[in-house]
């Protein structure tokens, strides 16, 4: 081989490798199929039956449009969608969380203008002011969600009947239920205090009635510097948490108990109930033996049932990639997703509480116990959705584990949360 | 004869030219792979390291240059101090325990016992299971009502039942045991390969000279196993320093951050807290740890090999 030929071969080889590498890193920006049909891309949850049904209907309603759906599991969904948005390779429609607690929340992504402004969408008026505040940033709406997530106490009906109890409506009844459960060789409430467990939802349920419900100005006061966690009724909530622990209301050694173990305790009736987010009801049902039924009730923290507020937060939903080549079509899908027709598909294909009106909708039996409270709006947002950064949530969840384990006091935990709030 | 010599003399320069040409073409063949390596590894690593000198939050388009602030922050972050301590504890504990037990097992299964092949397979089997699956398996076994506490109860040792992953003082050791359980077979296989390379007649000669089993091991087997020891110690030390999967699955760094390692802290800062700059600084520190530890122990063990 001559020197010139060798050089030419080498140059071609390097160019080919570089070309292949660059091609591997680039995104196919073409959104038009071979026969002229438009292809929308969408990144959502793995095995999401509601999304599948919505896509099928949208494709039927819009001939020539195909949605290429990528299902992602937790927690990969956080890192993958964030990385793709930052690198400009994200799908046209992406999962977005409300608030400010993870890498794909509306307020986090607003910093880089990665999401299209959806403020003029027809569904925005379905949400109250508190919800709209966490759906975007600086007055713009960047995402919409089709369901509310509720934090009720979920009870195993047969287990309650077996010990002759009913869902408590007052704090005293809660403590009575704990004793009844213990006397019958069970625990009242399953608790998982490893990361990803339900341990952080208990203070949310308690502060709903003790703080956020009666004092709706608490969060604005915090932002104004006029209120802190340390000087608030978070103290009372954590005292009640301690009282519940000391009364044997929870799973023993909860700090070593994973969420699926705790869910299994409720499913099998070893625990009478569990204070956790409503989407876990279906998981618990799947784990339960045939014939087991479940019901929900707001968790009280005073002796007057009329005082009780229910934590209700907006769940994860969808936003539109600001760099989408099919911006209008992607927005059209989100409009459909949050239209009455889209919400109807969602309630027909999943056990959810819709975020907008659905004519003739009746909540699933499991959520009937909290339905009146949701409809009368005796609810508060999830506290973490109102916090200014994800560090407060990290201080809360990390410190709460040691609080439950007994090595951190309420005062220390709340000081750490205040410090995180102040950055 | 003279003609033949002349021919050979004439051929010599030709051979050298051919060799130079061959060497030159080898470099041309290496170049594409090198270009790919630079593109896929070197460039992203340098680019990623540069984030350690910024306050990038993972989404903002224009991060600010903050110099060494992120590195200074590591020194004052109590979570980082715990993570560094845990990382070093895991790395050294796993290295010592895994290699000591791995060597003992290798010596045992290198003998003539009948079930040696079955034992080798059983002990090596956890190595081929993914670390994520191992984490979930042991999280279940370690749970308060899980297999380990049930076993202790069943054999009358109920008093020894523990909250294996929920006790901050115990959780890190529970994780170390899982890593040892998973990778001891890996060390065993490398030691076994080294043992099988030792000539039988050398051991027989030592025995004839009156050396007992301990003396034979220390004076004959151990020096000849030095390369295997070097490889094993280096791999387990690096693996321990980088440990992520098992910790992330079993405790996610909890309870209360008690089992955080540098790797889990990098993940949480980057992907939960939006502190990519700080996470990059931690990653740079971890890389330096791995490099320094590898160089030091490689040199020490290389001295021993001589």
Partner residue facing A17 (CB), from B35, B165, B273: B35
Q: What are the tens digits of pLDDT across the range A226-277?
A: 999 999 999 999 999 999 999 999 999 999 999 999 999 999 999 999 999 9
Task: List all residues of chain B from 60 to 89 with a beta carbon under 8 Å from chain A.
Answer: 60-61
Partner residue facing B165 (CB), from A103, A194, A390: A194
Which pairing describes strands A140-141 and A136-137: parallel, antiparallel, or unpaired? antiparallel
The answer to whether the Cβ–Cβ distance between B166 and A18 falls below 8 Å is no
Partner residue facing B139 (CB), from A193, A252, A258: A258
The answer to whether the Cβ–Cβ distance between B40 and A21 falls below 8 Å is yes
Task: List all residues of chain A from 187 to 206 with a beta carbon under 8 Å from chain B.
Answer: 193-196
Partner residue facing B32 (CB), from A14, A85, A196: A14
Kindly report the pTM of this predicted structure.
Answer: 0.82
Start-to-end C-alpha separation, chain A: 66
The residues, any chain, with a CB within 8 Å of residue B168's CB and separated by 6 or more, are A402, A405, A407, B255, B256, B258, B259
Contacts of A113 in chain B (CB under 8 A): 61
Question: Length of chain A, please?
Answer: 423
Instruction: Give CA–CA dist A46/A69, Å, rounded.
Output: 10
- B161, closest residue in chain A (CA to CA): A253
Residue A176 has pLDDT above 50, yes or no: yes
Q: Are A152 and A329 in contact (CB under 8 A)?
A: no
Q: What are the tens digits of pLDDT across the range B217-246?
A: 888 898 899 889 988 998 999 899 989 999
Q: HSE on the CB side for A292, CA within 13 Å?
A: 26
The answer to whether the Cβ–Cβ distance between B28 and A9 falls below 8 Å is yes
Which pairing describes strands A187-190 and A271-275: parallel, antiparallel, or unpaired? parallel
Instruction: Give CA–CA dist B290/A299, Å, rounded.
Output: 50
Q: What are the tens digits of pLDDT across the range A286-325?
A: 999 999 999 999 999 999 999 999 999 998 999 999 999 9
The answer to whether the Cβ–Cβ distance between A196 and B252 falls below 8 Å is yes
Q: Is B163 on the interface with A (CB under 8 A)?
A: yes
The pLDDT of residue B23 is 62
Partner residue facing B144 (CB), from A79, A253, A389: A253
Q: Are A176 and A272 in contact (CB under 8 A)?
A: no
Looking at residues A347-357, what average pLDDT do you find?
A: 86
Contacts of A256 in chain B (CB under 8 A): 142-144, 163-167
Average pLDDT, chain B: 87
Residue B280 has pLDDT above 80, yes or no: yes
Runs of H (alpha helix) within B55-199: 69-76, 78-109, 116-124, 131-142, 147-154, 168-196
The answer to whether the Cβ–Cβ distance between A256 and B165 falls below 8 Å is yes
If you count DSSP H runs as helices and E runs as strands, how many of each does chain B have, helices first? 15, 0
The pLDDT of residue B21 is 63
Contacts of A114 in chain B (CB under 8 A): 59
Q: What are the tens digits of pLDDT across the range B111-150?
A: 777 777 888 888 899 999 999 999 999 999 999 989 999 9
Partner residue facing A256 (CB), from B166, B253, B273: B166
Helix (H) or strand (E) holding A238: helix A234-246
User: What Cα–Cα distance (Å) separates residue A134 from each residue in A114, A122, A144, A254, A373?
Assistant: 16, 18, 10, 31, 21
Q: Are B278 and B70 in contact (CB under 8 A)?
A: yes
The answer to whether the Cβ–Cβ distance between A194 and B58 falls below 8 Å is no
Q: What are the tens digits of pLDDT across the range A19-42?
A: 444 444 444 434 555 566 899 999
3-state helix, strand, coil in chain A (%, to 5): 50, 15, 35
Q: Is A8 on the interface with B (CB under 8 A)?
A: no
């Amino acid at each position: 081989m001559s020197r010139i030929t060798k050089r030419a071969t080498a140059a071609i080889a390097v160019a080919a490798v570089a070309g292949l590498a660059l091609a591997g890193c680039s995104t196919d920006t073409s959104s038009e199929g071979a026969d002229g049909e438009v292809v929308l891309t969408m990144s959502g949850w793995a095995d999401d039956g509601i999304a599948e049904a919505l896509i099928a209907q949208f494709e039927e309603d819009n001939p020539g449009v195909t949605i290429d759906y990528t299902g992602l599991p937790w927690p990969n969904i956080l890192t993958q969608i964030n990385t793709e948005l930052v690198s400009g390779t994200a799908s046209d429609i992406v999962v977005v969380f409300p608030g400010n607690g993870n890498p794909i929340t509306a307020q986090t992504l607003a910093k880089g203008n990665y999401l299209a402004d959806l403020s003029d969408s027809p569904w925005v008026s379905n949400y109250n002011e508190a919800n709209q505040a966490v759906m975007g940033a600086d007055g713009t709406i960047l995402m919409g969600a089709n369901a509310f997530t509720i934090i009720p106490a979920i009870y195993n009906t047969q287990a309650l009947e077996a010990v002759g109890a009913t869902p408590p409506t007052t704090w005293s009844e809660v403590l009575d239920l704990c004793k009844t459960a213990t006397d019958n060789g069970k625990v009242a409430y399953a608790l998982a205090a490893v990361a990803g467990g339900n341990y952080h939802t208990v203070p949310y349920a308690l502060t709903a009635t003790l703080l956020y419900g009666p004092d709706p100005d608490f969060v604005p006061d915090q932002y104004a510097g006029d209120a802190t966690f340390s000087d608030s009724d978070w103290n009372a909530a954590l005292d009640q948490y301690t009282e519940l622990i000391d009364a044997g209301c929870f799973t023993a050694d909860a700090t070593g108990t994973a969420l699926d173990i705790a869910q299994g305790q409720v499913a099998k009736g070893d625990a009478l109930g569990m204070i956790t987010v409503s989407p876990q009801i279906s998981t618990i049902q799947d784990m339960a033996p045939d014939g087991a039924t479940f019901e929900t009730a707001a968790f009280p923290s005073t002796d007057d049932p009329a005082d009780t507020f229910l934590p209700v937060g907006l769940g994860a939903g969808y936003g539109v990639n600001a760099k989408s080549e099919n911006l209008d079509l992607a927005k059209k899908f989100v409009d459909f997703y949050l239209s009455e027709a889209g919400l109807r598909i969602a309630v027909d294909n999943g056990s959810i509480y819709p975020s907008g009106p659905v004519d003739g909708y009746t909540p699933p039996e499991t959520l009937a116990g909290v339905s009146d409270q949701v409809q009368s709006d005796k609810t508060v947002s999830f506290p973490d959705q109102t916090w200014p950064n994800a560090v407060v949530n990290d201080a809360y969840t990390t410190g709460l584990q040691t609080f439950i384990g007994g090595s951190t006091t309420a005062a220390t935990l709340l000081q750490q949360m205040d410090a995180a709030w102040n950055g | 004869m003279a003609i033949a010599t002349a021919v050979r003399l004439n051929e010599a320069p030709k051979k050298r030219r051919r060799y130079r040409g061959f060497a030159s073409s080898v470099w041309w063949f290496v170049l594409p792979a090198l270009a790919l390596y630079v593109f896929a590894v070197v460039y992203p690593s340098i680019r990623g390291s540069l984030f350690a000198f910024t306050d990038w939050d993972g989404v903002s388009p224009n991060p600010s240059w903050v110099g060494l602030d992120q590195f200074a922050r590591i020194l004052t972050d109590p979570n980082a101090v715990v993570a560094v301590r845990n990382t070093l504890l895991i790395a050294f504990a796993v290295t010592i325990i895994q290699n000591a037990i791995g060597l003992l097992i290798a010596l045992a299964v290198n003998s003539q016992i009948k079930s040696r092949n079955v034992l080798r397979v059983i002990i090596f089997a956890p190595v081929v299971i993914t670390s994520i699956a191992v984490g979930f398996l042991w999280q279940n076994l370690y749970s308060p009502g899980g297999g380990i506490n049930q076993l202790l109860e069943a054999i009358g040792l109920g008093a020894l039942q523990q909250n294996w992953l929920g006790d901050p003082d115990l959780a890190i050791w529970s994780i170390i045991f899982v890593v040892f359980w998973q990778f001891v077979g890996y060390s065993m296989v490398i030691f076994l390969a080294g043992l099988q390379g030792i000539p039988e007649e050398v051991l027989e000669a030592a025995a004839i000279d009156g050396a007992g089993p301990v003396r034979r091991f220390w004076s004959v087997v151990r020096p000849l196993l030095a390369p295997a020891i070097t490889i094993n110690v280096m791999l387990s030390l690096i693996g321990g320093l980088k440990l992520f999967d098992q910790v992330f699955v079993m405790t996610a760094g909890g309870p209360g951050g008690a089992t955080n390692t540098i790797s889990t802290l990098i993940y949480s800062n980057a992907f939960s807290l939006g502190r990519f700059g700080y996470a990059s600084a931690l990653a740079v520190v971890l890389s330096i740890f791995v490099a320094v530890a590898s160089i030091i122990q490689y040199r020490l063990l290389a001295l021993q090999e001589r």
